């Protein structure tokens, strides 16, 4: 499992990719991410999603 700091960095990168892919503001991308199933799954170590690439994860939103 990632440390808190590494997880925050990963979330920031994923949210940035969501914002870029959808052409939306960063705050809207954060809202989409934090209300998504991806957010829950990313914080669940048993899924292993924290090992996946940022672009891969951004495509899930």
**In the chain, at which residue ranges do the beta strands (DSSP E only) sit?**
none
Number of domains in the chain: 1
**What does the pLDDT read at residue 1?**
66
| Token couple for 23 | 């052409």
Residue range 37-52, pLDDT digits in tens? 999 999 999 999 999 9
What is the model's pLDDT at position 5? 94
Task: State which residues form the domain around 12.
Answer: 4-58
Query: pTM here?
Result: 0.90
Q: What's the DSSP call for residue 25?
A: -
Residue ranges of the chain with pLDDT lower than 50?
A: none
Q: Is the Cα torsion angle 37, 43, 48, 49 positive or negative in sign?
A: positive
Rounded Cα distance between 14 and 22, Å, is 12
């Amino acid at each position: 499992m990632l440390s808190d700091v590494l997880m925050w960095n990963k979330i920031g990168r994923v949210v940035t990719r969501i914002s870029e892919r959808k052409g939306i503001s960063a705050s809207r991308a954060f809202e989409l991410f934090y209300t998504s199933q991806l957010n829950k799954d990313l914080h669940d170590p048993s899924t292993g999603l924290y090992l996946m690439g940022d672009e891969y994860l951004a495509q899930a939103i």
